[in-house]
């Protein structure tokens, strides 16, 4: 890369970083909904899902992955 081009690119990068920092320092950051309640909403949604799955898994009578070995008997063969 040519020295002149490299110097121009570095100056552009430095200027853009300085502009970003000056914009951020002038901005007043007030708490919005996500800052105030984001973690609470996330935790309550997670708790709701866990409780719903636990209820589903334990109360509605699903038999989970039980083997049919020994419980299934073959039917009699009909030669008709």
Cα torsion 16, 17, 19, 25 to 10°: value is: 160
- Residue 69's pLDDT is 75
pLDDT tens track of the chain, all 80 residues? 567 666 666 666 666 666 666 665 556 667 888 888 999 999 999 999 999 999 988 888 777 667 777 777 778 887 76
- Residue 58's pLDDT is 86
Domain ranges for the chain: 33-58
- Residue 18's pLDDT is 62
Q: What is the 3-state secondary structure (H, E, C) of 2-32?
A: CHHHHHHHHHHHHHHHHHHHHHHHHCCCCCC
Q: Characterise 65 by phi-psi region: left (phi > 0), alpha (psi -120 to 50), beta (else).
A: left
**Rounded Cα distance, 48 and 38, in Å:** 15
pTM of the complete model beyond 0.85: no
């Amino acid at each position: 890369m040519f020295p002149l081009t490299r110097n121009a690119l570095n100056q552009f990068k430095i200027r853009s970083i300085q502009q970003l920092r000056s914009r951020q320092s002038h901005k007043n950051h007030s708490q919005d909904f996500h800052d105030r309640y984001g973690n609470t909403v996330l935790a309550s949604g997670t708790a709701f899902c866990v409780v719903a799955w636990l209820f589903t898994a334990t109360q509605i009578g699903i038999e989970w992955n039980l083997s049919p070995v020994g419980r299934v008997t073959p039917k009699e063969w009909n030669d008709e």
